[in-house]
Structure 1
Amino acid sequence: MSSIDSVAQKYRGLYLSAIAQGLETVLGQAETHALSYLQFAETLIELELQQRNGKRIEQNQRRAGFPVHKSLDDFDYVFQSSISKREVNSLLDFGFLDNRENVVFIGSPGVGKTHLAIGLGLKAIASGYKVYFSTALTLIEALELAELKGELKKKINQLLKFDLLIIDELGYLPMNKQGMHNLFQLINALYEYRSIILTTNKEFTHWGEFFYDGNVAVPIVDRIIHHSHIFMLGGESYRLKSKLNN
């Protein structure tokens, strides 16, 4: 006669560890609530799916490379009144990802751009999308290194495997000619194929300041703003507010 331990061991042999671990508890619930065979079977598989989904989310969060964990639930819409919770929530059906559209947050340092970008990225991962986060500087350096190795196309193809690319802090530092060329290659490859969330401290009309070449800035801007949701964030810096309150 089979025991709970022997049956659980068989589940482990099939790599159904959540079912194996929760079998005794679910059997007790089935007896207490007189679950049907179908309800019992569904409860077991839901247990396994929940664990696997949790592991998938954790793995994709690590792969995304977020520098910190920033939840949308913690965003202060009272302090940052230039964007509303309703506007942000309108993005959470992720139609912009399915339609290969972009999201752009423009504003001075410290007004919450990165917080919103990471918060949306985490929500996207929880909804099953693959996300990659990088500061603009780190991304440009990685592209330049790949170009020097003759592997720029390979690097861009790796980034295209993600549904959403978050580029943070574009415009804080100027780029050299090769950096501009490499970034254009990436943006061109992403255009209408993958989505971008971009944060920048410069309005599009001022992008020539860090590109040093309007002939490069214009086509990049054109590809980013086409099919995009643009949010202008004003107000004072969160970090300054936090420092003054301490």
Structure 2
Amino acid sequence: MERIDAHIDSVAQKYRGLYLTAMAQGLEQLLGQAEANAVSYLHFAETLVEQELQQRNGKRIEQNQRRAGFPVQKSLDDFDYGFQTSISKREVNSLLDFGFIDNRENVVFIGSPGVGKTHLAIGLGFKAIEAGYKVCFTTALALIEALELAELKGELKKKINQLLKFDLLIIDELGYLPMNKQGMHNLFQLINAMYEYRSIILTTNPVGRVLL
């Protein structure tokens, strides 16, 4: 028995050397299950690989959620369609195949403060990350300030290129505060660079100026 345990530890160590940590961690348990259920070698190999893939996918999602910069966690399942009747669950669910991202299209949520525009935008952002897309969330004010700072440093193109690495950019609260001429120019440069190349979800109020 000690020899078998030592052999399992040796194999697990080799997996770790190949950065297959989930396979290394689950090896002994999965071996026991395989022996108890008399599964085939192919089924055992598949189960072992699936465990590794699941862990890596989970880590990728967690990492991309952190990078997205969401201010809070919002779920589409928690959205109250009974309170906000101007949009239906069917309309929102129609976006969940993320064809608008694949087709480089944009989504605009227009409504008064407090109706749930940000909730929907964040909820879609989380779902997009789970589906494998890279997402960045920012308020319009923070974005304009970041672009202005980059422009003052002579790094506006660099900043725009950084944002273009994301498949989806969520810009929240556009039009809530006035924008100066330089801010509008910098934002236009970003929108122009993203046009038909990346997708945007934009939230704005009814009197905000939508640039898309």
Q: What is aligned with 2:174?
A: 170
Q: What is aligned with 1:34?
A: 38
Distance 2:85 2:36 in 1: 51
Q: Which fold has the larger relative contact order, with Cα–Cα distance below 8 Å and residues 6 or more apart in sequence?
A: 1
How far apart are residue 47 of structure 1 and its match? 0.2
TM-score, length-scaled by structure 1: 0.82
How far apart are residue 8 of structure 1 and its match? 1.2
Q: What is aligned with 2:65?
A: 61
Q: What is aligned with 2:187?
A: 183
How far apart are residue 202 of structure 1 and its match? 2.8
- Within the alignment, does 1:141 sit opposite 2:153 as a pair? no
Q: What is aligned with 1:82?
A: 86
- Within the alignment, does 1:72 sit opposite 2:72 as a pair? no
Q: What is aligned with 2:8?
A: 4
TM-score, length-scaled by structure 2: 0.95
The sequence identity of aligned pairs, in percent, is 85
Q: Classify the secondary structure of the residue corresponding to 1:3.
A: helix
- For structure 1, which segment, 19-28 or 142-151, has the greater mean C-alpha deviation from structure 2 after superposition? 19-28
Q: Classify the secondary structure of the residue corresponding to 2:197.
A: coil
What per-residue deviation string (whole Å, max 9, x for no partner) do you get for residues 53-74 of structure 1?
0000000000000000001111
The amino acid across from 2:38 in the alignment is A
- Find 1:101's aligned residue among 96, 101, 105: 105
Distance 1:166 1:188 in 2: 16
Q: What is aligned with 1:237?
A: none
How many residue pairs align between the two structures? 208
Divergent runs of 4+, >3 A: none
Task: Indicate the RMSD between aligned Cα atoms, in angstroms.
Answer: 1.1
Distance 2:158 2:53 in 1: 34
- Within the alignment, does 1:124 sit opposite 2:128 as a pair? yes
What per-residue deviation string (whole Å, max 9, x for no partner) do you get for residues 19-51 of structure 1?
111111111111122111111000000000000
How far apart are residue 3 of structure 1 and its match? 2.2
